[in-house]
Amino acid sequence: MLEAQNISYAHRKFSILENIDVTVNNGELLVIVGPNGAGKSTLLSMLANELTNKEDLIFFKKKTFHDWDCKELAHSKAKFSQNNSHDIPLTVNDVAMMGRYPYFNSVPQKQDEEAVIKALEETDMASMRQRDYNSLSGGEKQRVHLARVLAQLDNNVAQKLVFLDEPLNNLDVLHQHRILQTIKNFTQKGNTAVMVLHDLNLAAQFADRVMLLKKGKIVAHDVPGTVFTKEIISRVYNFPCTICTNPVNQNPLIIFGT
């Protein structure tokens, strides 16, 4: 699905990523975790084709991004960014409709309207469709952009790929779980998701595989049960922790500060 070998990135001589190999399989939900400055967002940007580095080759469905047609690529790949613009003088519906821009030329078709409404319902924003985007709270804006990304990938293309950079910032517990469940359902249909998260317990609950980064290097990349061990986590985060089994869903439960 997505393959990248030996990725490195440096910003003004400061190395941010060093020799990273990533392979993401079909239907996999990969969560990237790590302390601040580990290079999580940079790695996600590189995988999503935002930072073009000629030497590093990233293959999406066996083709480099360069070989893809940009409209066609927009039908099978989308990204949710961390720094969404706070000033977009449009309605919520207009912003979510941008996700459908790769599908219509001038006027949105019926299926575009339907996809937008469905996506807004998914993120619980449908009741605010006609509100001004600029009048929303931070978490609500975030949910509009999530709806936009969902609407963008609402099509019949098989094996789609979505990147999400800290999608849960500013969201309350209900919406955190709803969004993650939506992404989980998306991957269960044969699609793939790569996500940066800070909450290790949510990562343990939803991820198929977890990649733990520190200072631009991979510390561990495996199923949650193998990555989330007491010595790895306390060493990487430089903070004591205890790991037990979550009594509800049997996933690892990380408790810091003990």
Partner 1 sequence: MQNKLPLYLILSLLLLALLAVVSLYMGVYIFEKHSFTEIFSGLINNDGSISDSDRFVLMDLRLPRIVMAILIGSALSVSGTCLQGMFRNPLATPDLLGITAGASLFAAVTIVLGVYIKPYIPEVFHFSLLSFMAFIGALLTMLLVYRMSTTNGKTNVVVMLLTGVAVTALGFAVMGLLIYISKEEQLRDLTFWNLGSVSGASWTKNGILAVVITVCYFVLLPKGKALNAMMLGEKDAEHLGIPVERIKKQIVILTALMIGTCVAFAGTISFVGLIVPYILRLIFRSNYHIILPLSAVFGSILLLTADTISRTMAPPSEIPIGILTAFMGAPIFIIILIRSRKTM
Q: Where are the beta strands (DSSP E) in the chain?
A: 2-11, 14-24, 29-33, 58-60, 63-64, 77-80, 161-165, 192-196, 209-214, 217-222, 241-245, 252-256
Does 101 help bind partner 1 (rule: CB under 8 A)?
A: yes
Site residue total, partner 1 (CB under 8 A) = 33
Does 87 help bind partner 1 (rule: CB under 8 A)?
A: yes
The one segment of 4-12, 74-82, 168-176, 216-224 that binds partner 1 by CB under 8 A: 74-82
The pairing of beta strand 14-24 with beta strand 161-165: unpaired
Q: How far apart are CA 161 and CA 80, in angstroms?
A: 11
Among positions 20-59, residues that touch partner 1 (CB under 8 A) are 45, 48, 50
The pairing of beta strand 192-196 with beta strand 161-165: parallel
When the beta carbons of 61 and 215 are compared against partner 1, the nearer one is 61
Does 123 help bind partner 1 (rule: CB under 8 A)?
A: no
When the beta carbons of 7 and 73 are compared against partner 1, the nearer one is 73
Q: What is the DSSP letter of 132?
A: B
What 3-state DSSP class applies to 168?
A: coil
Does 74 help bind partner 1 (rule: CB under 8 A)?
A: yes
When the beta carbons of 8 and 84 are compared against partner 1, the nearer one is 84
Q: 155: closest CA among 208, 81, 104, 91? A: 104
Q: For the CB of residue 162, give the shortest distance to partner 1 in the complex, in Å.
A: 10
Does 156 help bind partner 1 (rule: CB under 8 A)?
A: no
The distance from CA 224 to its chain's CA centroid, rounded to whole angstroms, is: 17
Which residues sit at the interface with partner 1, rule CB under 8 A?
A: 45, 48, 50, 70-75, 77-79, 81, 83-85, 87-91, 94-95, 98-99, 101-102, 106-108, 132, 145, 152
